[in-house]
Structure 1
Amino acid sequence: MLYHFSEEDNIEIFHPRKHPSFSDRPPMVWAIDDDRSPLYLLPRDCPRIGFWATPETNEDDREKFLHTTTADKIIAIESGWLERLQRTRLYRYSLAPDHFIMMDEGAGYFVSYETEQPLKMEPVGSLLEALVKRDVELRIMPSLTPLAEQLPKTTLHYSMIRMKKR
């Protein structure tokens, strides 16, 4: 199963759309796999950085970035987004994987070039509770900039979303 998260609760059909970051590609419908779906349990426009260890992560990086947590993933947001996180209503649309192809294995992105009909839609409920249930540690930081500058120098897996809108 693949998922699409939205603040809209009335999407009956997903029509392929052009993506500004991929202007050379035809219109697409985007979906995410279950493992990376916690990265989307946030308001749509919220800048965020998710990071976690992989088998290739060295001990120095584990000690520096993960030594105080037992969480599977860490997602950092800026403190200015906390109130919006607490009041945002989010919906998870389930999509059949039949027409989707992997676009980015590291990010868990899948795309379809066809119109897609969701199999079901369900409200996420409290986003904080949803993150906790997925074993995510939420870090609320004054600024994401220092973390964004450090992570590319590590052996951690990371994903930076909506960082261009800063």
Structure 2
Amino acid sequence: MLYHFSENPDITTFVPQPVKNRPDLPSVVWAIDEEHAVNYYFPRDCPRVIYSRSEAVSSADLELFFHGSKASTIIVVESGWLEKINTVALYRYTFEDNGFELTDGTAGYYLSRQTVNPIAVEPVQQLLAKIVNAGAELRFTPNLYPIRNAVLSSTIDDYSIIRFQHAVPGG
């Protein structure tokens, strides 16, 4: 099964849409796999930096980014989003995986160039508890720029930077 998360509870058909920040792609319907669903337990426009342990991460970067943590995935969000995370109404749409193709295995992204009808929709409640129960460590910071820049200049090769255009400017 694949998933799509939305603040809209009434989507009956997903029609391929152009990807604003990826003009190289045709119009598509996006979906995410179960392993990476935790990355989407957030309001749609919430900027976040997500990184995970892998064999490629140097011991120095393991110490720097994971010091004191047993979590394999760290999600960093700006502090200003905490209230919205606690109050947003979020819905998980479930899709059959036929018709989708894997486009990024590290991020768990799947694309379909066809119209897709969900087989189920359900509310996702208690987002902070869902994130913690998924085994991710959630961290808050006033500004995402320092952690984004640090991840990009590190040996971490398993990361996602989502909705960064909504991050607090500067850093």
TM-score by length of 1: 0.95
Unmatched 5+ residue regions in structure 1? none
Tell me how far 1:17 sits from its aligned partner.
Answer: 0.7
Write the mapping of 1:94-109 to structure 2, written as runs, cut at 5 A. 94-109=94-109
Which has the larger displacement, 82-91 or 67-76?
67-76
* Equivalent position SS for 1:55: coil
Which residue pairs with 1:149 in the alignment? 149
Corresponding position: 1:121 with 2:117: no
Partners of 1:94 and 1:87 lie apart in 2 by 22
Which has the larger displacement, 138-147 or 152-161?
152-161
Tell me how far 1:164 sits from its aligned partner.
Answer: 2.0
Write the mapping of 1:12-161 to structure 2, written as runs, cut at 5 A. 12-156=12-156, 157-161=158-162
Partners of 2:91 and 2:129 lie apart in 1 by 14
C-alpha RMSD of the superposition = 1.1
Partners of 1:151 and 1:75 lie apart in 2 by 12
Question: In the superposition, relative to structure 1, how do residues 122 and 70 fare at CA in structure 2: closer, same or farther (>3 Å)?
Answer: same
Which residue pairs with 1:164 in the alignment? 165
For residues 80-131 of structure 1, give each alpha carbon's deviation from its aligned partner in whole angstroms, at most 9, with x where no partner exists.
1111011011111111110001112222111000111111111111110110
Which residue pairs with 1:7 in the alignment? 7
Partners of 1:149 and 1:80 lie apart in 2 by 20
* Equivalent position SS for 1:22: coil
Identical aligned residues as a percent: 40
* Equivalent position SS for 1:20: coil
Tell me how far 1:26 sits from its aligned partner.
Answer: 2.1
Partners of 2:34 and 2:40 lie apart in 1 by 10
* Equivalent position SS for 1:36: helix
Tell me how far 1:30 sits from its aligned partner.
Answer: 0.3
Tell me how far 1:21 sits from its aligned partner.
Answer: 1.4
* Equivalent position SS for 1:62: helix
Query: Given residue 165 of structure 2, which amino acid in structure 1 is its aligned partner?
Result: K
